Amino acid sequence: MSPNGQPRESITVFFPAYNDAPSLPDLLARTFAVLHAHFPIHEVIVVNDGSQDDTAAVLDRLRKKYPSLRVVTHPENRGYGAALRTGFASAKNDLVFYTDGDGQYDPSELIRLYQRLQPATGFVNGYKLQRNDPWHRIAIGRIYNQFARALFGVRIRDIDCDFRLIRRPLLDNLELSSTSGTICVELVRKLELSGWDVEEVGVHHYPRLHGRSQFFRLRSLFATLQQLIRLRVRLWTGGAKGFLHRCLYL
Q: Percent of the chain, pLDDT > 90?
A: 60
Give pLDDT tens digits for 163-195: 999 999 999 888 888 888 788 889 999 999 999
Q: Are strands 95-99 and 163-167 parallel, antiparallel or unpaired?
A: antiparallel
79 CB neighbour count, 10 Å cutoff: 21
Report H helices in the chain.
24-38, 55-65, 80-90, 110-115, 135-152, 168-172, 183-192, 221-248
CATH code at 11-248: 3.90.550.10
Query: What are the angstrom distances between the C-alpha of 76 and each of 15, 79, 245?
Result: 17, 9, 38
Entry pTM: 0.84
Give pLDDT tens digits for 180-237: 878 888 999 999 999 999 999 999 999 876 655 555 554 555 666 677 777 777 766 6
CB 192 within 8 A of CB 154: yes
Arithmetic mean of pLDDT, 110-115: 96
What phi and psi values does residue 107 have, to the nearest 5 degrees? -60, -20
3-class SS of residue 166: strand
What's the pLDDT at 221? 59
Indicate if the pLDDT at residue 245 is higher than 50: no
Domain boundaries, the chain: 11-248
Q: Are strands 121-128 and 95-99 parallel, antiparallel or unpaired?
A: unpaired
3-class SS of residue 104: coil
Q: What is the DSSP letter of 123?
A: E
Measured between alpha carbons, how far is 96 from 43 in angstroms, rounded to an integer? 10
Strands of the 69-74 sheet, one edge to the other = 69-74, 42-49, 11-17, 95-99, 163-167, 121-128, 197-203
